[in-house]
Amino acid sequence: MSARPEVQIQPLSRRIMHWINALAILVMIDSGWRIYDYYPALPLNFGFPYNWTLGGDMALSEALHNEDGLANALAWHFGAMWVLVLNYLVYLVVGFASGHFRRDFLPLTAGAFARDFLAALRFRLGHRLGEYNAVQKVFYWGVLAAILVTILSGLSIWKPVQLKELTWLFGGYEFARVVHFFGMAAIVAFLIVHIALTILVPKTLVAMIVGRAESGGQR
């Protein structure tokens, strides 16, 4: 018997915001790593590979003794920050107003998450195009929260005097830098899982590029 094919539809507005977010976040991560190499937020300065960072092309030995490398990284970071902030706010407004968050990311219960998480650990978690399992829902809510915390902690670092109340909420300037670093780490972790799942189910990438993907075939 021929079954109805699974379909995933991504509206144009969501696709545009998705790719703007992706680009802005990648620029912020790469430039942020360069900034970290100049000014570590943690006592342990492990350093990021120089070729993975963004902030101008120069030899590593020259860059670490040249303030232009830091200035360029900061320029990239702040430029991408405003793109991310504006796009993120629009994404939240459209997501709530259109019902996207309610329809795709809710309901969400602890029981459903535990069930799907255990299934994922056993490599038995199924996937249907256009439907999000509980693990995916938690990951998406989590990355939205991580982006918000990273933006707010970044603003408190950028303007610690003008936004002293916000800086105080993050435990002061130095601790806000630590929060900012771990917010970035959470976003990177999400990207790794997100890309891995996309490789496993490539039709989700097709839908995010062209707007629609179908499973086809017999079920």
DSSP 8-state class, residue 214: E
The pTM is what?
Answer: 0.86
pLDDT in tens, 30-49: 999 989 888 888 877 767 88
Rounded distance between C-alpha atoms, residue 168 and residue 150, angstroms = 15
Q: CB of 31 within 8 A of CB of 77?
A: yes
| pLDDT number for residue 217 | 42
CB burial of residue 29 (10 Å; 0-12, 13-18, 19+)? buried
User: From the centroid of its chain, how far is CA 64?
Assistant: 28
pLDDT at 84 over 70: yes
Rounded distance between C-alpha atoms, residue 185 and residue 92, angstroms = 22
Q: CB of 77 within 8 A of CB of 32?
A: yes
Domains, the chain: 7-22+79-214 (1.20.950.20)
Rounded distance between C-alpha atoms, residue 52 and residue 103, angstroms = 38
5 token code pair: 């094919």
Task: Please give the torsion angle defined by the CA atoms of residues 56, 154, 24 and 19, in that order, rounded to the nearest 10 degrees.
Answer: 160
